[in-house]
Amino acid sequence: MRPALSPSLAHMMGAVCGIAGIWGSADEVRARQVMDGIAHRGPDGAGLHGQPGGVLGHRRLAIMDPSGGQQPIFDETGAMAIVANGEIYNFPTLRPDLVTRHTFATMSDTEAVLHLFEERDTDTPTALKGMFAFAISDPDRLFLARDPIGIKPLYYGRGQDSDGVLVLAFASEMKALADWVDELHEFPAGTWYDSKTGFTPYYEVPTALPVSRSVAEHVALVREGLEDAIASHLMSDVPVGAFLSGGLDSSVIAAIARKHVDQLHTFSVGLAGSRDIEAARRVAAHIGSIHHEYLMTPAEVIEKLPEIVHALESFDQDLVRSAIPTYFCSRLAAEQVKVILTGEGADELFAGYAYHKTVGDPATLHQELCRSVATLHNINLQRVDRLTMVHGLEGRVPFLDTDFIALALTVPPELKLMASPDGKLVEKWILRKACEDLLPADIVWRGKEQFDEGSGTVDLLDEALGPLLAGIDLDAYRAATNEPVRSAEEALYHRMLCESYARPEMILANVARWTDDRPG
């Protein structure tokens, strides 16, 4: 079993939180207004740093280093400050080197980022492994950066401060900015911003051709890479759990995590008798986790639906459907743990969706997998962030470790969609093969189901939404809103989103559609 981290390592971790700020004005009133919009991300405290050129703000949920993890954090001179959200998984290798040249005031990985920036400036983001969004300021400069895949959120906009001065504003969620900015944008994943030079991308999802190796080599490398990624994502001094739907991705993560954690808590939600509930029980019993489950009811799903849509900041039908079980599973997990592992990214890396089987040739499929990984930031990763954070839970996604992404995209598509003896295509074949010793065979080779399908959410919605959809004339709604909603159900979510914001047009302009730009 994995031993507990020593205090010197455990308290260097980051925190679940939100960041916010303005640049171009020292208006702390406006900055506090932005911070109030993300208060749910950090109910345990708030920090503010004002200077003539701008204001940095931070909302904190105290998970790590409760006495020493407050932000903003300052450099040795007090002239440079940082606020950050996320986890830097390679901080144990960064800090020992930095401490030989810098005086650390905390055991936080956020401070390591600040000192690294003192030395490497705009090269800092490329040196970090993890999920992050951070802002660094000195008296005449603002620097913003977001992690390569966009696991942690960041948005920016331009508007007027209390005195009518035009400012740049940023925050972890759109809802903190939407009510007052004149324009609102998602900060691009894998990009940094310098107030002196503008935006610069520093990472792109690899698009090189797959590598020729033996099947056995590919299988061994996938297993080794996944073991390493999951181990790195377990670093914590608070209990770590795992979402467990009973599907392949979550089951593999839970099984590998269980080898490192003495008491692993796993969590599943669904309708009574749903396929996910039954499969998750089998996996939990097999790996010996402490398992928790929650059975949703139609009444409470309808009751919580407006809250879910508001938190999600999207009306996309597929995203809302999958957000529903994520909401209830996050609420359940937050009763036991503060950190949760989840399986996002596996379907995009290993061809797990039904539409992948319709893509005509391996080269096109490979290109599609590369593309879809690069679009996760404002669809599935947005769902994971918002629906965990609304419950004070930190979601981690080991499949989207950048080293593992690079490795997975060297695997030929023919090993991801493999033809079985009966001619049917088996999705994620190589992932199943690499991990088949970890789980019962019927779990390893269980057919793919979306989270909202296996949990029974789709069946539940069919029953529960009927009265709410009866009064929606889809053609009339499309004409009235000029929004290409796909169904009466999506029109309902669109209406809920609009009703929950004073200026919904700012949110709507940034809603990504899960079905955009697919081949096949």
CA distance 449 to 243: 15
The Cβ-side half-sphere exposure at 280, using a 13 Å CA radius, reads 28
Q: Which CATH class is domain 7-201?
A: alpha beta
Is the per-residue pLDDT at 508 higher than 50? yes
130 versus 462: the higher-pLDDT residue is 130
Give the residue ranges of DSSP H helices in 150-265.
215-232, 248-260
Interior/surface letters 30-63, b for 16+ CB within 10 angstroms, e for the rest: bbebbbebbebbbebebbbbbeebbbbbbbbbbb
CA distance 326 to 308: 10
> Letter for the amino acid at 209?
L
| Mean pLDDT across the chain | 91
CA distance 180 to 33: 10
Assign 452 a pLDDT band (cuts: 50, 70, 90).
Answer: low
pLDDT of 255 reads: 98
Least confident of 86-90, 147-151, 189-193: 86-90
Assign 454 a pLDDT band (cuts: 50, 70, 90).
Answer: low
For the chain, domain boundaries: 7-201, 215-456, 465-511
Q: Residues, the chain, total? A: 520
Q: Is 370 a catalytic residue?
A: no
Query: Which H helix or E strand runs over 386?
Result: helix 380-389
Neighbours of 477 (CB within 10 A): 17
Assign 447 a pLDDT band (cuts: 50, 70, 90).
Answer: confident
pLDDT of 276 reads: 86
CA distance 174 to 427: 35
CA distance 459 to 273: 12
67 versus 167: the higher-pLDDT residue is 167
What's the order of all strands across the beta sheet hosting 17-23?
A: 45-51, 54-60, 17-23, 166-171, 155-160, 183-186
* CB-based contact 248:438 (threshold 8 Å): no
Is the per-residue pLDDT at 99 higher than 60? yes
The pLDDT tens digits for 473-495 are 999 999 999 999 999 999 999 99
Least confident of 10-24, 121-135, 383-397, 433-447: 10-24
For β-strands 183-186 and 166-171, DSSP reports them as: unpaired
Assign 462 a pLDDT band (cuts: 50, 70, 90).
Answer: confident
Is the per-residue pLDDT at 448 higher than 90? no
Catalytic residue among 17, 329, 370, 435: 17
CA distance 238 to 123: 31
422 versus 336: the higher-pLDDT residue is 336
Range with top average pLDDT, 49-63, 176-190, 225-239, 272-286: 176-190
Least confident of 272-276, 302-306, 395-399, 450-454: 450-454
pLDDT of 455 reads: 67
Query: Which H helix or E strand runs over 496?
Result: helix 488-499
* pLDDT above 70: percentage of residues in the chain: 92
* CB-based contact 86:130 (threshold 8 Å): yes
pLDDT of 421 reads: 86
CA angle 395, 398, 401 (to 5 degrees): 115
Q: What CATH code would you report for 215-456?
A: 3.40.50.620
